Amino acid sequence: MPDLENLIIIGSGPAGYTAALYAARADLNPLVIEGFAWGGLLQQTTDVENYPGYPNGVTGPQMMQDLRDQAERFGARLLTDDATKVELSDGGIQRVWVGDDEYQAKAVILATGAKHRKLGAPGEDELSGRGVSYCATCDAAFYKNTDTIIVGGGDSAMEEAMFLAKFADKVYVVHRRDDFRASRIMLDRAKAVDNIELVTPYIVRSLEAGENGPLGKAVLEHAATGETRDLPVTGAFIAIGHEPQSQLFAGQVEVDEGGYVVTQGKSTRTNKSGVFAAGDLVDHTYRQAVTAAGSGCQSALDAEWYLRDTPPDPEAHWAPKASVATP
């Protein structure tokens, strides 16, 4: 039978590691199932210049290494593998599997993050980091005086376009329909910016390298007529939404229509006692490293208070149960 842990943290972006840091310092001896590809979305970014405390910027991977080291320094135990199954209980023992190995805990923090929705266009993966980006807030400054596109028609696309327009000479917002999902106010603001041009209804057929290797053009296809058109650009920002990584918890905690785990009020409590959620897994609005770290901190405090205020009850709560069949 596995030992009964105080706290298991699943996930390892800024939310997971910050939760681990706080929980370790609260003497909870947390076990972090950090995933095989630990570090989350920031592992795919180049320079992070908007995280407070790094006046000269830092690379995404270095920042994740720093957060990880800091959590480990205070005693967080890291398991570099993927959680494959969970059984989330309402106030009882939380059970997590990594392959055939079962782990049990009194509380669990879900911090598996989100991933950028991909276009699926040829060239997108190959040119990622070489002209193709998923975050104008992070990378716009590298596109000073260039021509760029934003793909998408929601508020994110408008916001990213307005941010990017401060740096780039030209920002084409390419959207597959003539109607926009963005709110009227965001759309009007974007339209009012001189160097933003809306290009609709166009689908991005491919992203192609220029002579030197990085992105050189986007090939667009008119959604109704099929006419194609080349846009010479050196930056393409994909802003077509995010997908929270909540599949592992499907049917076990409340999620909203977008798949984001629902938390109660300002807390990180889910609809199950002892189950907390933090970071991009719950946040479809801000999605910044610093906000994820903040919510990771909140989740560790919520878990700490839960463990303090829930006296062990051998019948109903935290009596270890015999292992059942593995998945």
By CB under 6 A, name the binding residues for ligand NAP: 117, 119, 152-157, 159, 176-177, 181, 240-241, 284-285
- Taking the C-alpha atoms of residue 298 and residue 288, their distance in angstroms, rounded to an integer, is 15
- Identify which of residues 144 and 191 has a Cβ nearer to ligand NAP in the complex: 191
Q: Which of 269, 263, 255, 279 is nearest to 115 (CA)?
A: 279
**Active-site residue, 138 included:** yes
4 and 320 Cβ atoms separated by less than 8 Å: yes
Task: Choose, from 66, 101, 138, 169, the residue flagged as catalytic.
Answer: 138
- Taking the C-alpha atoms of residue 155 and residue 284, their distance in angstroms, rounded to an integer, is 11
- Identify which of residues 77 and 176 has a Cβ nearer to ligand NAP in the complex: 176
- Taking the C-alpha atoms of residue 121 and residue 190, their distance in angstroms, rounded to an integer, is 25
- Identify which of residues 101 and 179 has a Cβ nearer to ligand NAP in the complex: 179
**Active-site residue, 297 included:** no
Dihedral sign for Cα atoms in the order 285, 290, 295, 296: positive
Task: Choose, from 135, 155, 280, 297, the residue flagged as catalytic.
Answer: 135
**Active-site residue, 135 included:** yes
Q: Kindly give the pairing relationship between strand 235-238 and strand 132-133.
A: parallel
- Identify which of residues 30 and 152 has a Cβ nearer to ligand NAP in the complex: 152
**Measuring CA to CA, how many Å separate 112 from each of 41, 83, 161, 244, 249?**
10, 10, 28, 8, 10
Instruction: Name the residues annotated as catalytic.
Output: 135, 138-139
